[in-house]
A and B are shown apart, each in its own frame.
Chain A
């Protein structure tokens, strides 16, 4: 068992180094992409900034608090896209018959699909999230206790896991539809875009949906309440880690889908 994990880890890092080296072949293009990504989401922030300069607050959240929330979600998403983009573009792997080759190799399919692509240019987005987070810390009066710092890490871990689960879910659907289902995008890109505001501003129904259908409040709303000092219940900070159960559900879907896989031919 230990041997297997070690060799899988080695293979994964080999995939990563291949991706890095190939990105470095086109340095100018790569850096322009990174800078582009870095600046791309500034207009998202600018939009939020203009809204707050007009309205002052939304449901009691200030600009700084929303920035903290926004930057953590952004970071989750960027990390998930960086690591899990093999799943995000799985439709083309299936359509081109590339998955047949994956199945032939004596390695885990998950590992191979994950290793097929790394979006290294997402670093731009990560830098941008860090920048935004730092600014959020400066302008919001959060008292940074040990528990709160840990909450940030747990939000990052849980959030990234949740977004990767969404990508995995989308890939699992591909076994049946052969085509990427755009509707699932609402879970990924929709959550990234609309997750910049705490879920409760969207109203009670949305809160219920985002708790019982997809565990979105677990990684965003609840830990945020503890982070911003709106509640003393420290265990809200542990909620994000429960998002792992969703990964297991999506993994089950993937296994189920794989058993029904029929090659696309070509």
Chain B
């Protein structure tokens, strides 16, 4: 039990640190609001051009855009924890290795915390404004109470999958000292595959079928589609199952790799 308390305090410290940047959060939320409006306008323009080809309800797309903006900092793989990368590159990791805690668990707790804090700060003002915007830009209510509960659950599962994946990018930094280029590639690919650029229903059916099997589909795609009821019934439960499966698989794989990396680590002087 004591062990979990340790990781919880890592979580708490990081979470409080994230909450310090309140002005930045307000300015950021305003930016995202405008960004989301533009995005909605694009989808509406396509919908007007060829209404028969539109794969989901327009109001569902609008909700998708707002929720994506609200929880962006939780799911985007881009804002991985810079401190952790720095500690690997400048050798600060040596201190961390001395501590009687597992590196994997500590990083997991820290990353989850900074993401949760970032999203928690941003989602409140953003969603509040999105709920009172004039139609057709208003965020609609969840499809049903069940959908709302499942939305919350899958949101956390999705966060877990995202963090579990981020752990791989940290571990990668052990093996290459300058991981910037590779990271950029990985993150841009994942942004696309997780439905951050366009929602997965807009992809051609063949591509969509494959993408839905990958772990990234659980990041933006699953919770956001469940909210508006676009994902329902058996398909919904299957997606939740996939999320759980990937979460467990990625964590196990990550821990194995992390152990291997710790064994071969070389700290260079300093």
Contacts and interface: CB of A to CB of B under 8 A. Distances in A.
Contacts of B204: 50, 53-54
Interface string B175-210: 000101111110011011000011000111001000
Contacts, number: 109
Interface residues of A, number: 42
Given A33-B181, A51-B46, A201-B45, A190 B34 contact: yes
B16 interface: no
Nearest to B197: A47
Interface residues of B, number: 37
A32 B180 contact: yes
Contacts of B188: 36, 39-43
Nearest to B34: A186
The B contact surface, by secondary structure, is: helix
Contacts of A183: 27, 30-31
Contacts of A190: 31, 34-35, 38
Nearest to A57: B49
A149 interface: no
Contact of B42 (A32, A41, A202): A202
A56 interface: yes
Interface in B37-79: 38-39, 41-42, 45-46, 48-50, 53-55
Interface in B4-42: 23-24, 27-28, 30-31, 34-35, 38-39, 41-42
A17 B52 CA distance: 56
Interface centre among A26, A41, A42, A182 (most CB of B within 10 A): A182
B45 A32 contact: no
A55 interface: yes
Contacts of A44: 197
A194 interface: yes
B28 A182 contact: yes
Interface in A156-195: 179, 181-183, 185-186, 190, 193-194
Interface in A52-85: 53-60
A22 interface: no
The A contact surface, by secondary structure, is: helix
A29 interface: yes
A197 interface: yes
Contacts of B184: 33, 36-37, 40
B208 to A, nearest CB: 10
B178 A28 contact: yes
B41 A203 contact: yes
Contacts of B202: 50-51, 54
A214 interface: no
A36 B182 contact: yes
Contact of A202 (B45, B182, B203): B45
A1 interface: no
B35 A186 contact: yes
A58 B181 contact: no
A58 B45 contact: yes
A206 interface: yes
B46 A58 contact: yes
Contact of B178 (A26, A35, A186): A26
A193 B41 CA distance: 13
Contacts of B38: 190, 194, 202, 206
Interface of A: 26, 28-29, 31-37, 39-44, 46-47, 50-51, 53-60, 179, 181-183, 185-186, 190, 193-194, 197, 201-203, 206
Given A57-B49, A201-B41, 11 more contacts: A26-B178, A29-B178, A32-B180, A51-B198, A53-B204, A56-B50, A58-B49, A59-B49, A186-B34, A202-B42, A203-B41
A-B pairs, top 5 by smallest CB distance, nearest first, are A32-B181, A36-B184, A43-B192, A201-B45, A29-B178
